[in-house]
Chain A
Amino acid sequence: MPKQVLIRFERCVGCRSCQLACAVAHSEAKSLYGAVLNGEKPRARVFVHQAGEHKAPLNCRHCQDAPCIDACIAGAMHRKADDTVTNIGGEQYCTACWMCVMVCPYGAVRSDAAGTMAVKCDRECKDDQGVPACVRACPTGALVYAEVDAYSAGRRQGVLLQALGGV
């Protein structure tokens, strides 16, 4: 059973530690200090949003029938054997057409700083224990990397999708 990054919304305090950790993990330097020194502009792939009093991180759900894969006119967006949906490391490279951006209901795909390719959660950030950087960084345990059984996976997706109006 593949693992998912689950979000416990009620625990999020909006500190953006996950966002920062994600950006750093996707920098060349792999450290905040180094990235700043290099003048890099790494982009986070998880975003903390505030709605009223609520704060919540949102990232890619690695959807079952991922709309971004359907939409990718280049064939770059694909699903890896471990269930990760990504536009890197496949047969084709991303052409920055933003079809995936247009259809992702979570706004989880964005352009890179230069506008040359789409970036999203690719799980290329796991530490030696296999834990993603955002989960590792969260001080309150709002992000959990765990296996979900089919039922609760369906339910979780269902809740998210319905809330946003479905895919």
Chain B
Amino acid sequence: MHFVIIGNSAAGVAAVETLRRPGGGASEITVVAGEPETAYSRCLLPDVLAGRRAEASIRLRPADFYRRLGVTLFSGVRAVELQPGEKKVLLKDGRELTYDRLLLATGAAAVRPELPGVRADGVFVLRTMADARALSAVARRVTAAVVAGGGLVGLKAALALKLAGVAGVTVVVASPRLLIRQLDERAAAMVEGELKEFGVQFIYNAGVKEFITGTGGRASGWRQDGGRFSPGEHLSGHGPDGGRELPAGCLSGVVLDDSRELPAGLAVVAKGVRPETELAARAGGRVGRGIKVDEYLCTSLPDVFAAGDCIEVTDRLTGQPVNSALWTLAFEQGRFAAANMLGQRRAYPAPLTRLNSARFGAVDVISVGRLDGPEVFTLDDPLSRTYRRLVFDGDRLAGFILAGRVDGAGVYTALVKSGRPVKQHIRALLGGRTGEVAVSGLMAR
């Protein structure tokens, strides 16, 4: 049996480990990795940008991982075509691989809205190690940066830029507050407060209309003490230049919807992701908000499975089709897909698709399930910096937000998943006495 896996991030790595579990049988495994780096923790890229972590330190598995597990790795090469009839995958370098079962773990790519100037030097996204590396190089040389997007990635990028030493970091947020898809007003305010402590600034109800480049104008947003301009010194090929003019094509600022101009030597566009579905789509596979899969994570193409950010899943609570787009889900799907590739027939249960934990400075936030519902209970204790919001639908916990203290969060998550009636425990849940609720569940049996 020859298993081929395209993509070596969360889903790909989980699949490899599962295929190599005891009982997995002797099989050949080939992994095709578009990025040249060995698998790394994508979510920790902001730490690399902030200068808190070296690139090698966010490696997901030991360096000898593939060798130890007997996996053939083609790294830094993309698969360009899938021929499901012939069971073949063609690689960019001309190689051809024949598979018995294939896993598409191609993930997602950052969206770059088609705005004027979006391709200028100095306009970035933050999705890959290469992005983080390029951003770090420029961040050292600018005084002002703009981040477009007040979601998780945008805010992590903004804080990282600040920690990397950029003096002015402004986040342009389309909605009236931060993290509109993850948090309520109170929790968002806690995050905002913490980020402001770090010196990050915010502009709400606004969007970027255009990225402007330094043609003719004086450099703005660039360090004036940055020494001599040396072309090619870093990846984007431009640099700060005391009083001299910036070369054409180099970002000098952004224009907002209301025509306000903000100086910026670099901008990060954090406007969400787009699932990588082309291989499947061009081969005739069904695609919705990601590659469509059945409950065994098999695509509409025979012997082609898919897992991770590239697939569409059905939200456990709403029943709506959504793009997967979470590390935890990518990892567990990689496990399930691999089990099914081994013929173990393991149905993947509909997941919760709001399942976020993030830390901004000293503020921890966890958000799971529904943000709103028929009944909402909150507890706000500024003294202990604890905030809890519980959303009930009848007797069931349908979602929650924790900010500040997050211990025991997993008990709430399990309750949201199971739908066990727990209204009678509302006081314990609001008070954070999750162990009590867990034990009462055990005893009830």
Chain A residues at the B interface, C-beta cutoff of 8 Å: 9, 47, 49-52, 54-56, 58, 65, 67, 69-71, 73-75, 91-92, 95-111, 115, 159-160, 162-167
Contact = CB atoms under 8 A, between A and B. Distances in A.
Contacts of A101: 357, 366, 406-410
B406 to A, nearest CB: 5
Identify which of B47, B433, B439 gathers the most chain A CB atoms within 10 Å of its CB.
Answer: B439
B434 interface: yes
Nearest to B445: A163
A163 B440 CA distance: 9
Interface residues of B, number: 50
A51 B59 CA distance: 43
Contact of A73 (B43, B335, B435): B43
Contacts of B332: 65, 67, 70
A163 B47 CA distance: 39
Contacts of A105: 410-411, 413-414, 438
A75 B443 contact: no
Interface in B280-302: none
A160 to B, nearest CB: 7
Contacts of A71: 327-328, 331
Identify which of B409, B433, B444 gathers the most chain A CB atoms within 10 Å of its CB.
Answer: B409
Contacts of B357: 97-99, 101-102
29 contacts: A49-B439, A50-B436, A51-B443, A52-B443, A54-B439, A56-B439, A56-B442, A58-B435, A65-B332, A65-B335, A70-B331, A92-B41, A95-B44, A97-B357, A98-B364, A98-B409, A99-B357, A101-B366, A102-B355, A103-B410, A105-B414, A107-B408, A107-B434, A115-B364, A159-B442, A163-B444, A164-B438, A165-B415, A166-B414
A128 B14 CA distance: 36
A6 B152 CA distance: 40
B59 A107 contact: no
B2 interface: no
Contacts of B62: 91
Nearest to B358: A97
**Interface SS, A side:** mixed
A164 B58 CA distance: 34
A107 B410 contact: yes
B331 A165 contact: no
A51 B439 CA distance: 6
A165 B444 CA distance: 12
B407 A165 contact: no
A51 B41 contact: no
Interface of B: 14, 41, 43-44, 47, 57-62, 327-328, 331-332, 335, 355, 357-359, 362, 364, 366, 368, 406-411, 413-415, 417-420, 433-445
Contacts of A160: 442
B443 A97 contact: no
A108 B414 CA distance: 13
Given A56-B442, A101-B406, A102-B368, A73 B418 contact: no
Contacts of B433: 49
Contact of B445 (A96, A102, A159): A159
Given A9-B443, A73-B327, A98-B406, 8 more contacts: A70-B331, A97-B358, A101-B408, A101-B410, A102-B413, A163-B445, A165-B414, A165-B420
A162 B355 CA distance: 21
Given A73-B41, A163-B442, A103 B413 contact: yes
B370 to A, nearest CB: 16
Contacts of B435: 47, 49, 58, 107
A166 B410 CA distance: 11
A61 B373 CA distance: 33
3 tightest Cβ-Cβ pairs between the two chains A and B: A165-B418, A49-B435, A105-B414
A98 B415 CA distance: 18
Contacts of A69: 331
Contacts of B331: 69-71
Nearest to B366: A102
A76 to B, nearest CB: 9
B60 A107 contact: no
A106 B328 contact: no
A100 B413 CA distance: 11
B443 A56 contact: yes
A110 B444 contact: no
Identify which of A67, A73, A160, A167 gathers the most chain B CB atoms within 10 Å of its CB.
Answer: A73
A70 B442 contact: no
A77 to B, nearest CB: 11
Nearest to A101: B409
B440 A51 contact: yes
B394 to A, nearest CB: 15
B442 A165 contact: no
Contact of B438 (A106, A166, A167): A106
B410 A109 contact: yes
Nearest to A106: B438
